[in-house]
Structure 1
Amino acid sequence: MADIRILLTDKTIAQLPTPKDGRYLARDTELKGFFVVVGKRKRTFTVQGDLRQNGKRASSVRVSIGDTSEMSTRTARATAKEYLAQISKGKHPRAAKEEVQPAAASEAVPNSMPAVEITLREAWQRYLEAHLIRKGRSEKTISSYRDHVERVFMEWLDTPLRELGMDPARVAKKHDETTKTSGPYMANGSMRTLRAIYNHARKTNRSLPPDNPADAVDWNQEERRDTGMGNSDLKGWFAELAVLDNPVRREFHLFTLLSGSRPSALQEAKPAHIDFRRRTLHISKPKGGRKRAFDIPLSREMIRCLVRAIRFGMKMYPTRAKEWVFPAESESGHIAETKEDRDTLSKWGNDLRQTFRTIATAAGVSEFDAKLLMNHSIPGVNAGYVTRHKLLEDHLRSQQQTISRAVFTALGASLTNNRALRNWLGRAASRRATQDFETSTGLDREEFWRAA
């Protein structure tokens, strides 16, 4: 294949085609001399520049930075800038790296003040305030980072970052130990957190070694958890859900399935977020923070689910139900823990998100539309020209209705034959729920049924 020029990011690199034979270069449009060598089995970040002596070109050098599967593009780009700067001064990056001694790092800049040692604790606090909070990251995301730092790296909190940067083997060993004690996903996740904190700290602490110590780990292979259900599995799952003790939790799990949303986003849904006229539920704080806020188009089945949740909530938690769609006896006032005993309910949480995607495909909904409904980021340049809210009123809502209809069609005769299901989702039960809802909320009957 011929060489190409693109803006190198983690996403664009992942989408690069694999050559049938040989290899090709994907050159960065932003940083000259920075590119990825794409082979059949490996993709490598690389830099190339001209070594000059006495102002004249002496030779051209090419230096590999690292495997794209083991380091982020941001880290590779930062390293590339360091290497290119050294090359422009007539120094080979590898040779310069070997000459630097750990004890001599502060002597690199003569007549300068000694470098202030920043600890992992200090770097984490700066990253938390200047990056996570300022950019509106969700509390769940922040909690995950905090768990990595304050639990996995507890014994390193007062360790200078430069000490870790000069000893990548120590970091690699920690990754191996965490893999054994907490599993491969936790080990990889904690190292991504360390890598992000280190990169952020280096922006204001140039004495830190340019190579991120987290790039030294041998990353564990991660596989997508394939736990979704197909049409044939829904009948048994609904039978389990129908006998769940708490009716608010029952509606929460059903709405998770019908919307394909992340449970963490639905936990904080408020009655004020529901617009019955437009038939939407506003998700104000999804994954990615407030800037990724979006509206879920509601099918008829989803509206009835929300009505039942509000009705049950008003009876069980009258005070908390004024603020939350899915109230609970928790510190927050809403459902805080979405897990169930697998013997009671076999699928919940992200299992239902995968099921939504599976049912959508079987129902003929396009991958693009399913991703829009699930608020996934859409790869590719053309996706940037799609205006989501313009599709919301008609197209996406009809696709949502198609998915909900497929879910309930899969129940077949069990919707009338199964007593628990009939009492929960049957027509008479829906009428009772609607009447209670109209009485307690004062919503106009005609307006409601126009929505439902």
Structure 2
Amino acid sequence: MADLRILLTDKTIARLPTPKDGWYLVRDTELKGFFVVVGKRKRTFTVQGDLRQDGKRASSIRVAIGGTDEISTRSARATAKEYLALISRGQHPKDEKGSPRTSQTETAGNKTAATLRGVTLKEAWQRYLDAHLVRKGRSELTIEGYRDHVERIFVDWLDTPLQELASDPARVAKRHDEITNENGPYMANGSMRTLRAVYNHASKTNKSLPSDNPADAIDWNEEKRRDTGMGTSDLEGWFAELAAIENPVRREFHLFTLLSGCRPAALQEIQPSHIDFRRRIVHIPKPKGGVKRAFDIPLSREMILCLIRAIRFSRQMYPSNGGDWLFPGDSASGHLAEGKEDRATLSKWGNDLRQSFRTIATAAGVSEFDAKLLMNHAIPGVNAGYITRHKLLENHLRCQQQAISSAVFAGLGTSLTEHQRLRGWLGRGASRRATLDAPINSSDCVAGKQVTIRPAA
């Protein structure tokens, strides 16, 4: 029977036909040199590779790992990787007695299999997680993104030595193509950026790793900036959609996302204690980049009314945790954890609104520099270090914020008075009732004083 090539798993091996005479090979499509010898009575995991001396091929050897009825395919694959790594370095995986070499007999000139295999992706990822992401205060959302790439996309590579990936960059390029087909171009590029970062971090403490990063071998997918922001002419229709959303907490969340231009993930974790109504700011403690990037958002009149309504609705709908979170929800964390909506219900949400903020800011005459400060973007150039943001916050930046909010509501035109739901939600009388119905407790102010917020005229 001719040799076969399949992805070896316990299930696929069990389904292989038994030959009437002799034996045949079934090679693994994932790990070169790893295969199963299928005979009439037994099926054996085996590896084959070229022993090299002084960089030249000395001989080709075949080494049995164990029967398929003795060990699982996953364990056999891990052992095969160790054996192949030893073979590639000119060392037979088993001693003269046919026993596997163990990590207990390391001597000069006879390195152990554990030493030779080098750091695995799993080990490198754990160190990158602890020493880089956690230590530098990266947000949970950022960490989860990296974890998804490593532990889901590259789950079958966790026990693979980085040395093995570096020596076979074509394998990495092939995986990028596979991820592109299965998960899309953005996920493929993102997961490979994670692999590149983990490898670069590991190479700092593992000088035996090649300097060439295996991720450099891939042909990156073209990524187009998502052009999903709204202009002022689009706002009337979007507000009509937003007014129809039944959950008022989610409604205020989306509105505040548009008015602030802040990342939705950061807004989800706002607490009432982060709001200082007297100074007219809200503190964002854990934005993208971690606590070291914490910043304050100046509040326009429309943003203040939005927050007051959110406080009122939160305490009415979620009495148990409405006092802990500005935008509470039914999630395990107690706050709103999912900002997605059905596009048929609300056409723009999430980062669409962040792009809309930036677009409307330009239409309102706000400079690019001021818009970057309001959105907490990094300011390029040497002059950035001389800008003291908090000195601009309570006067200049608040005026710019008010200009943007005014442009947003100006985009509603006459619909604010003609559209019944909009009038009931955002009309003059509704805003005044929201203010009067939502007394600001001392716990709502960082300054610790009760204040009165007058509705916009």
Shift in alpha-carbon separation, 1:403–1:112, aligned structure 2, 3 A: farther
Q: Letter of the aligned partner of 1:238 in structure 2?
A: F
What are the within-5 Å matches in structure 2 for residues 52-451 of structure 1? Answer: 103-104=88-89, 115=115, 117-438=118-439, 447-449=451-453
What are the Cα deviations for residues 40-84 of structure 1, in whole angstroms up to 9, with x where unaligned?
xxxxxxxxxxxxxxxxxxxxxxxxxxxxxxxxxxxxxxxxxxxxx
Shift in alpha-carbon separation, 1:442–1:450, aligned structure 2, 3 A: farther
Distance 1:325 1:185 in 2: 32
Distance 1:234 1:100 in 2: 70
Question: Matched residue of 1:281: which SS?
Answer: strand
Between 116-125 and 307-316, report the one with greater CA deviation: 116-125
Contact 1:277 1:451 in 2 (8 A): no
Distance 2:399 2:90 in 1: 63
Tell me which structure has the larger Cα radius of gyration: 2
Contact 2:276 2:444 in 1 (8 A): no
What are the Cα deviations for residues 173-230 of structure 1, in whole angstroms up to 9, with x where unaligned?
0001111111111000000000000111111111111111001000111110000001
Question: Matched residue of 1:296: which SS?
Answer: strand
CA displacement at 1:428 relative to structure 2: 1.3
Q: Letter of the aligned partner of 2:192 in structure 1?
A: M
CA displacement at 1:305 relative to structure 2: 0.2
Contact 1:230 1:359 in 2 (8 A): yes
CA displacement at 1:104 relative to structure 2: 4.7
Question: Matched residue of 1:126: which SS?
Answer: helix
Shift in alpha-carbon separation, 1:105–1:162, aligned structure 2, 3 A: farther
CA displacement at 1:289 relative to structure 2: 0.4
Distance 1:266 1:194 in 2: 29
Contact 2:432 2:455 in 1 (8 A): no
Distance 1:388 1:100 in 2: 63
Contact 2:255 2:306 in 1 (8 A): yes
Shift in alpha-carbon separation, 1:234–1:227, aligned structure 2, 3 A: same
What are the Cα deviations for residues 117-158 of structure 1, in whole angstroms up to 9, with x where unaligned?
211111111111111001000000000001100111011011
CA displacement at 1:436 relative to structure 2: 1.4
Distance 1:185 1:329 in 2: 30
Contact 1:279 1:451 in 2 (8 A): no
Contact 1:228 1:352 in 2 (8 A): yes
Distance 1:442 1:209 in 2: 56
Q: Letter of the aligned partner of 2:382 in structure 1?
A: V
What TM-score do the two structures reach when normalised by structure 2?
Answer: 0.74
Stretches of structure 1 lacking an aligned partner (at least 5 in a row): 1-97
Contact 2:305 2:455 in 1 (8 A): no
Distance 1:344 1:177 in 2: 34
Contact 1:105 1:207 in 2 (8 A): no
Shift in alpha-carbon separation, 1:105–1:353, aligned structure 2, 3 A: farther
Stretches of structure 2 lacking an aligned partner (at least 5 in a row): 1-53, 58-84, 92-107
What TM-score do the two structures reach when normalised by structure 1?
Answer: 0.74
Cα RMSD after superposing both structures: 2.3
What are the Cα deviations for residues 389-426 of structure 1, in whole angstroms up to 9, with x where unaligned?
11001000000000000000111111011000000001
Q: Letter of the aligned partner of 1:432 in structure 2?
A: R
Q: Letter of the aligned partner of 2:437 in structure 1?
A: D
Q: How many residues align?
A: 352
What are the Cα deviations for residues 295-339 of structure 1, in whole angstroms up to 9, with x where unaligned?
000000000000000100000001211110000111111110000
Instruction: Considering fraction of residues, name the structure with more helix.
Output: 1
